[in-house]
Amino acid sequence: MAHTSTAHEVLAAVFQVRAGASEKPALHVLLWQRALDPERGKWSLPGGRLGDDEDMTDSVRRQLAEKVDLREVAHLEQLAAFSDPARVPGVRMIASTFLGLVPSPATPELPPDTRWHPVSDLPPMAFDHGTMVEHARTRLVAKLSYTNIGYALAPMEFALSALRDIYSAALGHPVDATNLQRVLERRKVITRTGTTARSGRSGGRPAALYRFTESRYRVTDEFAALRPPG
C-alpha cells in the first residue's frame, strides 16, 4: 500500500560503560519501555518526531532531556537514516539515529520506564530498534580505534587499568593496558595528571592518574584499528 505522507523521527542510541557491585564493566544502552500499542511492553530507543521548527540535533537533545531526563551526554553525533517504508505501522516514518555517550561514573536519574540494558543482552525490542543499537555499537567500536572518542566514556581522571576496562567493555574484547597506553600516548590522546590514585586495601604502589588531552572529538589515526588479541 502506498503511503500518502511521510514523517521524520530522531532516535538516540546512548551508551555508557557500567558495572554492578559484583559485575565486570559492560557496555549498556539506554532504553525506555513502551506503554502503548503498537509494540506495547517492548523496549525502544529514546526520541520522537522531529519538530517543524528544529534541526535534528536540537530535537534529539530536547527529547533526551524531556522524555528520559538525560542531560549529561558528553558526545552526540548523527549516524544513519532508516527508511524502510514498512519499518513502523501507519504513516511512513523515516528515522535518523544518533550516537550518544555518557561518561563513567555518571549516574543520571531516570524515569521509572527507562533503564540501562547490557548491549550483549537486550530485552525484546520494538520495531527495528535492535538493529539500530547494533549499528550504533559497530560505529562506536570503529571510532574507538581511529578517534579520541574514549574521552566521552571515561571519567575526568583515571588509572590505566580503569581505562582498559572501559575500552574492553566498549570494544567487546580484552585490551592490554600497556599496549593501550602506548597507542594513546603516541597519538597524544592521554597525558599524565601528575597525581596518583588512592591506595586500595591491599596497599601497594598507587597507580598514576591520566586524563584525555581534549574533550572534543577528533580523528587521531584514520587507518588504525584496535583488534582482539591473538
Return the bridge partners of 28, or none: 16, 118
- The least confident of 41-50, 80-89, 123-132, 220-229 is 220-229
**Nearest 5°: phi and psi at 50?**
-70, 130
Task: Indicate if 33 and 135 belong to the same structural domain.
Answer: yes
Q: Is residue 171 part of a domain?
A: yes
Task: Indicate if 28 and 131 belong to the same structural domain.
Answer: yes
- Report the pLDDT averaged over residues 184-206: 84
Question: What's the pLDDT band for 1 if we cut at 50, 70, 90?
Answer: very low
Taking Cα atoms as reference points, which of 115, 172, 182 lies closest to residue 140?
172
Q: What pLDDT is stored for residue 106 in this prediction?
A: 87
CA distances from 98 to 126, 143, 211, 226, 228 (A): 17, 14, 26, 23, 26
Q: Is residue 30 part of a domain?
A: yes
Question: Of 101, 125, 145, which marks where a domain is finished?
Answer: 145
Q: Is residue 222 part of a domain?
A: no
- The least confident of 167-171, 191-195, 215-219, 226-230 is 226-230
The one-letter amino acid code at 150 reads G
Task: Indicate if 164 and 126 belong to the same structural domain.
Answer: no
Residues 218 and 198 sit within 8 Å (Cβ to Cβ) = no
Neighbours of 210 (CB within 10 A): 22
Query: Which domain CATH number covers 38?
Result: 3.90.79.10
- Report the pLDDT averaged over residues 166-182: 95
Write down the residue that cell numbers 527495528 correspond to. 128
Task: Indicate if 105 and 184 belong to the same structural domain.
Answer: no
Question: Of 103, 124, 145, which marks where a domain is finished?
Answer: 145
**Nearest 5°: phi and psi at 147?**
-135, 180
**Coil, strand or helix: which one is 138?**
helix
pLDDT tens-digit profile of 54-109? 999 999 999 999 888 888 799 999 999 999 999 999 999 999 999 999 999 888 88
Question: Of 145, 170, 185, which marks where a domain is finished?
Answer: 145
Structurally, the chain folds into a number of domains equal to: 2
Q: For the whole model, what pTM was predicted?
A: 0.93
